[in-house]
Chain A
Amino acid sequence: MADAKVIPFGDEPRSRRGRGGRARAAGHRTAPLAPVPGQPHGPEHPAAPEATGDRRGPAGPVGTAARPWEQRLAQGLSFLRRRVTGDYEVDEFGYDEELTEEVLLSLLRPVYEKYFRVEVRGVENIPESGGVLVVANHSGTLPLDGLMLQVAVHDNHPAGRHLRLLAADLVFMLPVVNELARKAGHTLACSEDAQRLLERGEVVGVMPEGFKGIGKPFSERYKLQRFGRGGFVSTALRAGAPIVPCSIVGAEEIYPMIGNARTVARLLGTPYFPVTPTFPWLGPLGMVPLPTKWIIQFGEPIPTDGYPLEAAEDPMLMFNLTDQVRETIQHTLYKLLVQRRSVFF
């Protein structure tokens, strides 16, 4: 997109954009400078005693006896007991909160903390409760950015909120992947599901660039692609949910895509088939992502509840809001890139 080049690294020229400008400009001054919240471990440990309290293990007295490994063992056994007897709840999207918290997030956390060393800024821009739509850029050939975003929201948000991601239909066609995605709380990116989640008061994550963003060549890194048809804005408007723009830096470099084997992609039925300096040359070893340093920045929420009911049908307003969200993310990306010392540190 041409306008990606003309955005300068300052706040001043943006003020000439009239529509909805004040709130947004204010957002720009504060959002990137927002204080870094507590380190990822924060909410984990205070939560642990509470968890053992209400889910008492079958070997009750063992757990209460203070020593942490005994507590964890009792907790683990009671978890195992609930799993083998099927005594757990899933919601109508197939989201298995217990499995996600105890297993799936625990598996992702080492990657998040140790491998990509994700730094999260401005997580307090996600409200404590109520529906909110987090709109992020998409990159990195494989959707690791979505998974890291999910860990980031859960581990850093003071209320420990869960991010419900909207995923492409390809995810739900693949065996195993679809099962895990549903259990982790993801659902199909369609307006029905998004609206239902927002009305239930969930944090919904969407990456409107879709395959255009995740499968773009390395040379176009950090250049936002077209934001679909802006369906996410009308969904947020209908639900009256604020939009939180989110910029993810670091995911672009995990698999530098230098080529796209279109014929193979067509044979496999995928939207692209990446060729990176290591993949497919090194086989499975080439699938190891590069250990880049990530920054996830949440911007100021853009309110959507002040509009009249029929606003969701107004294409001009949709385009303007979509542009506003898109440029906020693009602008924040450039700022973070300037601040970044190196891709890997």
Chain B
Amino acid sequence: MGSVVLVTGVARQLAGRFVRRIQREPAVDRVIGVDVVRPEHRLDEAEFLQADIRRPTIARVLAEHAVDTVVHLDVSGTPFAARGSRSAIKETNVIGTMQLLGACQKAPGVRRLVVKSSTGVYGAAPRDPAVFTENTPPKSLPGGGFAKDAVEVEGYVRGFARRRPDVAVCVLRFANILGPCADTPLAEYLSLPVLPTVFGYDPRLQFVHEDDVMDVLRLASLEPRRSTLNSGTFNVAGDGVLLLSQAARRLGRPTVPLLLPAVTWVGSALRTVGMTDFSPEQVRLLTHGRVVQTTQMRETLGFEPAWTTAETFADFARSRGRGLLPPEILARTVDRLAAALPGPRSEERTRHG
């Protein structure tokens, strides 16, 4: 007998992709997608149930369909068009998780729980170590926004794991998810024609590709492979690091350094016109950056990401079209300059320094 997988938040692209992916697994019998609104993308054979995880009805769904694996992907940072404001998102993230976990606790059939979290739970502060491990306590707890939701969600999940030790609980802390159809706040920020940055700071960023997100979610939702363990908390990120300045150059978008207070004003202005969610937490990420260690992911979970941070970013850059300063044109300009210079002058060298 195969397993019955329940996936929350399937109206979003990422969860929709995961539903289509997981039903192809031979070990999976049925996939049930749950969301408040009907998804616009297809879910293939999977059943869609219009249900709100913030309401106790979710417990009935679990019992009726004899669900044994719950994949909780309805933890998200960006408002979904139909759901509107930031407060609604927070309610789905926090209250939704509480209700869902309450329902899971009452459902004896549940064997496995996978929760999508974020590396945002580490916060970002100048006194933090350069690289976070799963055990690093945050120096400054996120004050609000999605990161705070993620911290609270993880708190509830820990409580659940204590009360139901028979359930394998896997918390995946994803770095910034990027890819052709990513809808994270950072993806929105990187799609701005001109990138406002914080003057005097060049944050280190790490990305994880959507394809890798699919693979690691699949790995966590099925029985663990030999000599791996898929319960616990894992950082998930691609190899390597990009600086924001470097990312902007690869993307071909000019940056405008602003002083820290000005960034906050610009952020709230952008938020008012609805261009991007420039929350204080996002500003902190873009000030101090965040890098996580992925040894646990490799050694315990047995997952090797197919995309590095740089490759993920290149894929994202391809999908977004060229910016105002495409790197190819800049490279050609430099080449032309090199070809055009008849007699090199001595100050040329110093100018580059």
A264 at the interface (CB under 8 A from B): no
Closest Cβ neighbor of A79 among chain B residues:
B352
Known A90-B243, A173-B126, A183-B202; judge A193-B331 contact (CB<8 A).
Answer: no
Q: Which residues of B contact A70 (CB under 8 A)?
A: 344
Q: Which residues of A contact B144 (CB under 8 A)?
A: none
A107 engages B202 (CB within 8 Å): no
Known A57-B338, A81-B334, A182-B202; judge A88-B130 contact (CB<8 A).
Answer: no
Q: Which residues of chain A in 67-124 are interfacial with respect to chain B, using CB atoms and an 8 Å cutoff? A: 69-70, 72-74, 76-77, 79-81, 83-94, 96, 102-103, 106-107
B130 engages A187 (CB within 8 Å): yes
A86 engages B199 (CB within 8 Å): no
Known A76-B348, A92-B291, A102-B353; judge A178-B338 contact (CB<8 A).
Answer: no
Q: Which residues of B contact A77 (CB under 8 A)?
A: 334, 337-338, 348, 352
Query: In the complex the two chains form, what is the Cα distance from A183 to B200 in whole Å?
Result: 12
B22 at the interface (CB under 8 A from A): no
B1-27 contact mask (Cβ, 8 Å, vs A): 1 or 0: 000000000000000000000000000
Query: In the complex the two chains form, what is the Cα distance from A106 to B339 in whole Å?
Result: 26
A172 at the interface (CB under 8 A from B): yes
B232 at the interface (CB under 8 A from A): no
Query: In the complex the two chains form, what is the Cα distance from A19 to B334 in whole Å?
Result: 62
With beta carbons under 8 angstroms apart, the residue of B199, B334, B344 that contacts A58 is B334
A69 engages B344 (CB within 8 Å): yes
**Chain A interface, DSSP helix/strand/loop, else mixed:** helix
A164-197 contact mask (Cβ, 8 Å, vs B): 1 or 0: 0000010011111111001100011010110010
With both chains docked as a complex, state the minimum distance between the C-beta of A339 and any C-beta of chain B, in angstroms. 36
B334 engages A69 (CB within 8 Å): no
Query: In the complex the two chains form, what is the Cα distance from A80 to B240 in whole Å?
Result: 22
B233-253 contact mask (Cβ, 8 Å, vs A): 1 or 0: 000000011110111111000
With beta carbons under 8 angstroms apart, the residue of A80, A174, A178 that contacts B352 is A80
With both chains docked as a complex, state the minimum distance between the C-beta of B40 and any C-beta of chain A, in angstroms. 35
With beta carbons under 8 angstroms apart, the residue of B136, B204, B250 that contacts A94 is B204
A69 engages B241 (CB within 8 Å): no
Q: Which residues of B contact A173 (CB under 8 A)?
A: 126
With beta carbons under 8 angstroms apart, the residue of A59, A76, A187 that contacts B349 is A76
Q: Which residues of chain A in 196-241 are interfacial with respect to chain B, using CB atoms and an 8 Å cutoff? A: 196
B129 at the interface (CB under 8 A from A): yes
Q: Which residues of B contact A72 (CB under 8 A)?
A: 349
Query: In the complex the two chains form, what is the Cα distance from A208 to B346 in whole Å?
Result: 43
Query: In the complex the two chains form, what is the Cα distance from A278 to B242 in whole Å?
Result: 42
Known A90-B204, A92-B291, A94-B204; judge A169-B330 contact (CB<8 A).
Answer: no
Query: In the complex the two chains form, what is the Cα distance from A196 to B349 in whole Å?
Result: 36
A76 engages B352 (CB within 8 Å): yes
B131 at the interface (CB under 8 A from A): yes
B126 engages A94 (CB within 8 Å): no
B200 engages A59 (CB within 8 Å): no
Give the interface residue-count category, chain B: 35 or more
Query: In the complex the two chains form, what is the Cα distance from A91 to B130 in whole Å?
Result: 11
Q: Which residues of chain B in 129-153 are interfacial with respect to chain A, using CB atoms and an 8 Å cutoff? A: 129-131, 133, 136
Query: In the complex the two chains form, what is the Cα distance from A102 to B248 in whole Å?
Result: 22
B260 at the interface (CB under 8 A from A): yes
A175 engages B348 (CB within 8 Å): no
Closest Cβ neighbor of B248 among chain A residues:
A86
With both chains docked as a complex, state the minimum distance between the C-beta of A115 and any C-beta of chain B, in angstroms. 18
With beta carbons under 8 angstroms apart, the residue of B247, B248, B250, B346 that contacts A69 is B346
Q: Which residues of B contact A57 (CB under 8 A)?
A: 338
Q: Which residues of B contact A92 (CB under 8 A)?
A: 130-131, 204, 240-241, 291
Closest Cβ neighbor of A174 among chain B residues:
B200
Query: In the complex the two chains form, what is the Cα distance from A179 to B288 in whole Å?
Result: 9
Closest Cβ neighbor of B242 among chain A residues:
A90
Query: In the complex the two chains form, what is the Cα distance from A89 to B136 in whole Å?
Result: 26
Q: Which residues of B contact A96 (CB under 8 A)?
A: 243
B331 engages A84 (CB within 8 Å): yes
B330 engages A85 (CB within 8 Å): yes
With both chains docked as a complex, state the minimum distance between the C-beta of B135 and any C-beta of chain A, in angstroms. 10
Q: Which residues of A contact B245 (CB under 8 A)?
A: 86
With both chains docked as a complex, state the minimum distance between the C-beta of A269 and any C-beta of chain B, in angstroms. 13
Closest Cβ neighbor of B199 among chain A residues:
A175
B249 engages A175 (CB within 8 Å): no
B246 engages A192 (CB within 8 Å): no
A193 engages B327 (CB within 8 Å): no
Query: In the complex the two chains form, what is the Cα distance from A86 to B352 in whole Å?
Result: 15
Query: In the complex the two chains form, what is the Cα distance from A178 to B241 in whole Å?
Result: 17
Q: Which residues of B contact A74 (CB under 8 A)?
A: 338
A178 engages B126 (CB within 8 Å): yes
Closest Cβ neighbor of B239 among chain A residues:
A92
With both chains docked as a complex, state the minimum distance between the C-beta of A71 and any C-beta of chain B, in angstroms. 10
Query: In the complex the two chains form, what is the Cα distance from A57 to B130 in whole Å?
Result: 34
Query: In the complex the two chains form, what is the Cα distance from A77 to B337 in whole Å?
Result: 9
Query: In the complex the two chains form, what is the Cα distance from A96 to B288 in whole Å?
Result: 16
Q: Which residues of A contact B81 (CB under 8 A)?
A: none
Query: In the complex the two chains form, what is the Cα distance from A309 to B92 in whole Å?
Result: 48
Query: In the complex the two chains form, what is the Cα distance from A196 to B136 in whole Å?
Result: 14
Query: In the complex the two chains form, what is the Cα distance from A258 to B170 in whole Å?
Result: 59
Q: Which residues of A contact B328 (CB under 8 A)?
A: 85
Q: Which residues of A contact B127 (CB under 8 A)?
A: 169, 172, 188
With both chains docked as a complex, state the minimum distance between the C-beta of A62 and any C-beta of chain B, in angstroms. 8
17 A-B pairs with CB atoms under 8 Å apart are: A69-B344, A76-B349, A77-B338, A81-B331, A81-B334, A84-B334, A85-B328, A90-B204, A91-B241, A92-B130, A92-B131, A96-B243, A169-B127, A178-B126, A178-B201, A188-B126, A193-B129
Q: Which residue numbers of B lie inside 8 Å of A, CB to CB?
A: 126-131, 133, 136, 198-202, 204, 240-243, 245-250, 260, 288-289, 291, 327-328, 330-331, 334-335, 337-339, 341, 344, 346, 348-349, 352-353
Q: Which residue numbers of A lie inside 8 Å of B, CB to CB?
A: 57-59, 62, 69-70, 72-74, 76-77, 79-81, 83-94, 96, 102-103, 106-107, 169, 172-179, 182-183, 187-188, 190, 192-193, 196
Additional A-B contacts beyond A77-B338, A176-B200 (13; CB < 8 A)? A59-B338, A59-B339, A77-B352, A84-B249, A86-B245, A87-B250, A87-B327, A92-B204, A93-B131, A172-B288, A175-B200, A179-B201, A193-B131
